[in-house]
């Protein structure tokens, strides 16, 4: 291993257990940091995966936690035992217990770091509020050894979590404990007071750098936490490793024939038809994983219109313009906005096919019920796959004519970038990262990659989605024929219809723009930016860094 060591604390990782975007970002950045001078370790609870995937590293007697090393790349230090082994990553009944236990175990690990042969980190990089106490604990333990690492607090999603000293005490952080911040020691009590109990503000207060995932979201973050952190704030856009060639390869396996991404126009519609009618119909229980036990129990009983047994979808009755929507099943993602807009959407495009690939999480039961009811009421137009459906996930993007991203708020919105990587334009709410990654066709013409609507506005979502799918559908028809004319006339947004009238090739040019736009969001760029922020953070940490 070369370079300075960095510990990236994250509650999820694609190599252990992934729920949302957070499972992708730390490991993907970590993977590319060695080239930039940092040996990055993902520090994470195993949630029950450690023993099967890692090698035992050290048993921590005081906390009763077992640590494992996943050699990587990127290497992971995985903590197992007690609550940390509960497979429910964010279940509210175990989450705090996980935070406390990880914090105390991390302190113990630092104390016994010499026994492991692992290098001492100079950077502690926390991700979201769950990692704040562990980040502080690691910093405190390293400071006690005379090493004052710099910390970077990375907000992927603001929380409203507030805590008191009692909470931090359970994490092994006493008010008189001191940690180095910006080159001077500060007590936990002082930091807690300065942050008024806000976990996110505590993370920022205790760190040399505050990072978030898009410029628009940074304004939101600073608005909530306070503009006093602006001088040490930065943006690291997430990236994607999705490339159309690889997605096409995956889709080729489903289609049983090679799909050349350069000739997408020839096969994309066939892939869509097969996806909507056959592939969905063939999904078996083994293809779909539901982590949340409550949701799994509920889904086991779901049947009826649009569903086979166990909540598995029936195929659509036929082909049609396809919309895809993915994500964790939370209201933040705007599933309810889409459901509210269904009537308008179906009225505008009667044969529209909307496929939801959704991940139930704790507390999503009500939303599942709403979606099940909507599928029953719109059996021609709506299907849902509840759970991770790895075999169809990426090919579904390639089959889609448009992606729906109606988040109420969205720090970055990786789903939009992934859709664009698969040449699917995005109907996105104008919020956070979505406002930046998706370029509105009404402003940029064929250089655009989607259409924006105001967050929460179902009718606007319906008209943008309808416009996108009808425009993309027109791309499959000979321009100015009766069928083409019918599609273009039905486009609700006049600017989009006008664009097609002026340039019938617009749909495929927009798809190309999508691919190009997604190409700008690479993990390489994210790692480069992260390394720069580490460097600045170390500079702010001053004399403490590297001593000891």
* Residues in contact with other proteins by the rule CB under 8 A: 304-305, 342-344, 346-347, 350-351, 373, 376-378, 380-381
Residue among 200 and 344 whose Cβ is closer to other proteins: 344
Locate 283 and state its tokens: 């999904």
- In the numeric block, the tokens 């019920």 are attached to 369
- As a whole number of Å, the CA-based R_g of the chain is 24
Minimum CB–partner distance for residue 344 and other proteins (Å):
8
Give the C-alpha separation, 133 to 249, whole Å: 43
Residue among 167 and 378 whose Cβ is closer to other proteins: 378
CB within 8 A of 228, min separation 6: which ones?
Answer: none
Residue among 50 and 306 whose Cβ is closer to other proteins: 306
Give the C-alpha separation, 154 to 131, whole Å: 10
- In the numeric block, the tokens 């909540």 are attached to 311
Give the C-alpha separation, 370 to 362, whole Å: 16
Say if residues 67 and 57 touch (Cβ distance below 8 Å): yes
Number of H helices, E strands in the chain: 25, 17
Residue among 111 and 380 whose Cβ is closer to other proteins: 380
Of 130, 139, 50, the residue nearest 96 (C-alpha): 130
Residue among 342 and 497 whose Cβ is closer to other proteins: 342
Three-class secondary structure of residue 212 per DSSP: strand
Minimum CB–partner distance for residue 517 and other proteins (Å):
33
Residue among 62 and 305 whose Cβ is closer to other proteins: 305
* Rounded alpha-carbon distances, angstroms, from residue 190 to 205, 320, 389: 10, 60, 47
Give the C-alpha separation, 112 to 93, whole Å: 30
Say if residues 18 and 510 touch (Cβ distance below 8 Å): no
Residue among 346 and 367 whose Cβ is closer to other proteins: 346
Say how far residue 304 (Cα) sits from the centre of its chain: 31
Residue among 163 and 342 whose Cβ is closer to other proteins: 342
Give the C-alpha separation, 6 to 506, whole Å: 46
Residue among 372 and 424 whose Cβ is closer to other proteins: 372
Where would I find the beta strands (DSSP E) of 130-277?
A: 150-155, 178-181, 184-187, 209-212, 233-235
Locate 208 and state its tokens: 């040399």
- In the numeric block, the tokens 């999480």 are attached to 361
């Amino acid at each position: 291993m070369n370079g300075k060591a960095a510990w990236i604390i994250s509650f999820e990782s694609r190599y252990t257990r992934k729920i949302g975007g957070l499972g992708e970002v730390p490991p993907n950045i970590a993977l590319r940091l060695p080239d930039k001078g940092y040996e990055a370790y993902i520090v994470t609870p195993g949630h029950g995966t450690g023993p099967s995937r890692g090698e035992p590293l050290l048993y921590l007697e005081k906390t009763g936690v077992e640590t494992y090393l996943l050699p990587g790349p990127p290497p992971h230090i995985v903590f197992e035992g007690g609550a940390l082994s509960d497979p429910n990553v964010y279940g509210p009944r175990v989450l705090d217990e996980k935070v406390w236990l990880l914090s105390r175990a991390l302190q113990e690990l630092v104390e016994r770091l010499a026994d492991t042969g692992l290098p001492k980190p100079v950077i502690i990089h926390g991700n979201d509020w769950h990692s704040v106490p562990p980040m502080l604990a690691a910093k405190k333990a390293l400071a006690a050894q005379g090493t004052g690492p710099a910390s970077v607090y990375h907000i992927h999603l603001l929380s409203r979590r507030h805590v008191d000293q009692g909470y931090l005490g359970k994490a092994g952080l006493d008010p008189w404990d001191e940690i180095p911040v910006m080159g001077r020691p500060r007590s936990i009590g002082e930091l807690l007071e300065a942050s008024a109990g806000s976990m996110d503000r505590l993370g920022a207060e205790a760190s040399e750098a505050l990072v978030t995932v898009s410029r628009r979201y940074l304004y939101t973050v600073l608005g909530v936490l306070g503009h006093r952190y602006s001088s040490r704030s930065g943006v690291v856009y997430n990236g994607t490793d999705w490339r159309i060639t690889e997605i096409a390869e995956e889709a080729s396996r489903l289609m049983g024939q090679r799909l050349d991404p350069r000739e997408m126009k020839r096969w994309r519609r066939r892939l869509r038809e097969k996806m909507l009618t056959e592939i969905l119909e063939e999904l078996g229980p083994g293809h779909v994983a539901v982590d949340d036990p409550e949701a799994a129990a509920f889904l086991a009983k779901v049947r009826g219109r649009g569903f086979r047994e166990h909540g598995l979808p029936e195929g659509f009755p036929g082909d049609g313009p396809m919309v895809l929507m993915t994500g964790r099943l939370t209201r933040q993602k705007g599933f309810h906005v889409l459901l509210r807009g269904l009537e308008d959407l179906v009225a505008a495009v009667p044969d529209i096919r909307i496929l939801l690939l959704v991940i139930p999480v704790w507390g999503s039961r009500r939303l599942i019920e709403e979606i099940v009811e909507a599928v029953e009421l719109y059996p021609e137009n709506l299907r849902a796959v509840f759970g991770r459906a790895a075999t169809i996930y990426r090919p579904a993007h390639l089959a889609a004519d448009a992606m729906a991203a109606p988040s109420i708020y969205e720090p970055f919105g990786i789903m939009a970038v992934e859709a664009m990587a698969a040449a699917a334009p995005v109907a996105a709410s104008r919020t956070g990262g979505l406002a930046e990654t998706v370029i509105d066709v009404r402003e940029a013409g064929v250089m655009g990659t989607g259409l924006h609507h105001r967050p929460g506005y179902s009718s606007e979502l319906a008209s943008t989605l309808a416009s996108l799918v009808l425009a993309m559908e027109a791309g499959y028809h000979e321009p100015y024929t009766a069928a083409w004319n019918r599609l273009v006339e039905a486009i609700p947004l006049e600017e989009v219809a006008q664009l097609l009238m002026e340039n019938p090739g617009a749909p495929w040019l927009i798809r190309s723009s999508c691919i190009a736009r997604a190409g700008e969001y690479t993990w390489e760029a994210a790692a480069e930016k992260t390394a720069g922020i580490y460097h600045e953070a170390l500079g702010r940490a001053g004399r403490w860094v590297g001593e000891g």
